[in-house]
Amino acid sequence: MAPTGHDTATEAEHRQSGTADLPWPSERAGFYALFCIVFATFLTFFDHTVFAMLAERMKTSFGLSDSALGFVLGPASVVAFVFVGIPLARLVDIFPRKYVLSAGIAVLGTITALGGLAQNFGQLVGTRLFVGAGGSANGPGSYSLLADYFRPLRIPLVFALLQLGFILGSAVGTWGGGQLIAWTATWPETSEFLGLTIFNWQWILIIIGLPGLLAAVLFLFVKEPPRRNPPDMKPLVPPTASFGRKLLAFTGFDAMRAINMRGATFYPLFAALALSAIESQGLPAWRVPFISRTYGWDEAEIGNLLGPLLLAANLLGITLGGLFVSRLAKKYKDANIRATAIIFTCATVCAIAAPLMPSGELALAFMALTSLFGLAGAPAQNAAIQRIAPNEMRGQVTALYLFMFTFFGAMGSWVIGAVSSYIVGDPELIWQALLIVAAVFMPAATFFMWRAIKPYREEVERLEALGR
């Protein structure tokens, strides 16, 4: 949706004069915006979690191999992100962010529901392509909006609260997904709807997709805050620029150039996030198949234990992570990255240990611990990027950073499936695939995060010297 005349005029004025002397917006309005973002994030991760829990049902209904199953659980959702994620992030930088966020969650909910009507594997893959496109603006838009609503000292707390969407979406999705699967399993295996043959598990996709439309409406009542640009900031693209130059701005080229200019700072962070995402985001897609095949549990049993475990672990992780980074911040300018490196080390140990456990209970416990440490480091990582990203292209820099998480995280499910199909060779030994992936990627990610501490500290010192 296009911005109103008032929005356009206001943002143009701020771009010309800067907004460093503006009073901060009402925190009450800011917390309403935070609520809308948390709700949309909850729906996004609830969808992802429940969809992953349907893995064995999809495999049986459509006759899939583990590698094909891994593709639909992950890479299928990021193909569209590659083509539209960065352009949508550019919209975040120039249009009212509430409209971009509203449209994104509306598309995500609608396409999720349409996945319930898929008649074959190809159509199911098609819906996941558009789900990825719909969710691609959520991260850049959310971080950009909140960074202009709250003072810098409040940002770590706000970003920690933002993780509630992920925490509740993952935990409630795990428990609720198990209950929904058990419920629909009592229905006839197939039914007719609008002349289409629908598997009983597909009704779950229709049910969980519809609340996205409510979230889209709630965003329309968010008050767009002014962008807090420094007084000396120049427009990313001058009004007199050619059409080709304006089009180039939507490709992420400017953001990539800015990142490359500070490559020593950004590249280790990008590498650490990408490598860790392969394991941390690939694992959730295979939790149910792993526990089901290795220990003989069904989805409801898994959800009943794993849901509460994840909720407790993630809430504890976000709390301990915030306290830990706050304590380090009293002594180190690089506290965000230093804390994350230590947390990554703990996550690596738990990720490798999980598939080696002798019982389902212990395996789920170590998976929950891995999630605890993973989430403990998330607010610090996100705050670090917002601290060093150029404000005039914060949306695109954030999008590129999150792209590493989204793309490689989605590839993780396929990597695990491919290792299972082509290296292990036996679907019943899926635990070996999980172990191989964790043992290869997590130590490498941890190395790069430790490597990022010094250049990040130097970049923070440089910005402080400039008064930023």
Structure-token pair, residue 360: 């389902």
Look at residues 419, 300, 364, 299 and name the one whose alpha carbon lies nearest to residue 57: 299
The whole-angstrom distance between residue 3's C-alpha and the CA centroid of its chain comes to: 26
Give the CA angle between residues 253, 254, 257 to the nearest 5°.
Answer: 85
Tell me the residue type at 393. M
Find all residues with CB under 8 Å of 366, minimum gap 6, and list them. Answer: 350, 353, 354, 357
Distance in angstroms (rounded) separating the CA atoms of residues 85 and 312: 32
CATH superfamily of 25-227+244-465: MFS general substrate transporter like domains (1.20.1250.20)
DSSP 197: E
Structure-token pair, residue 230: 């420094």
pLDDT at 251: 58
pLDDT at 2: 36
pLDDT at 5: 39
Tell me the residue type at 241. A
DSSP 423: I
pLDDT at 241: 67
Tell me the residue type at 249. A
Distance in angstroms (rounded) separating the CA atoms of residues 93 and 148: 12
Look at residues 138, 136, 149 and name the one whose alpha carbon lies nearest to residue 33: 149
Q: Give me the tens of pLDDT residue by residue for the chain, a chain 468 residues long.
A: 334 434 444 444 444 444 456 788 999 999 999 999 999 999 998 998 999 999 999 999 999 999 999 988 888 776 666 666 667 767 787 789 999 999 989 988 998 999 999 999 999 998 887 777 666 778 778 988 998 999 877 887 788 788 889 889 988 999 999 999 999 999 999 999 989 999 999 999 999 999 999 999 999 999 999 887 665 556 656 666 666 656 666 556 666 777 777 888 888 988 998 999 988 888 888 999 999 999 999 999 999 999 999 999 989 998 888 889 888 988 999 999 999 999 999 999 999 999 999 999 999 999 999 999 988 988 788 778 878 877 666 666 776 777 777 778 878 888 999 999 999 999 999 999 999 999 999 999 999 999 999 999 998 898 888 876
287-290 own/partner pairs: CB under 8 Å, 24+ apart: 287/52, 287/364, 287/367, 288/52, 288/53, 288/55, 288/56, 289/55, 289/56, 289/59, 289/66, 289/69, 289/430, 290/355, 290/363, 290/430, 290/431, 290/434
Packed helices 79-94 and 97-115: angle between N→C axes, nearest 10 degrees: 160
Is the distance from CB of 181 to CB of 208 less than 8 angstroms? no
The whole-angstrom distance between residue 124's C-alpha and the CA centroid of its chain comes to: 21
In 185-223, where does DSSP find H-type helix? 202-209, 211-219
Is the distance from CB of 154 to CB of 174 less than 8 angstroms? no
Structure-token pair, residue 457: 């500290």
In the chain the first and final C-alpha atoms are separated, in Å, by 33
The helix, strand and coil proportions of the chain, stated in percent and rounded to the nearest 5, come to 80, 0, 20
pLDDT at 232: 56
Is the distance from CB of 122 to CB of 64 less than 8 angstroms? no
Structure-token pair, residue 147: 């960074």
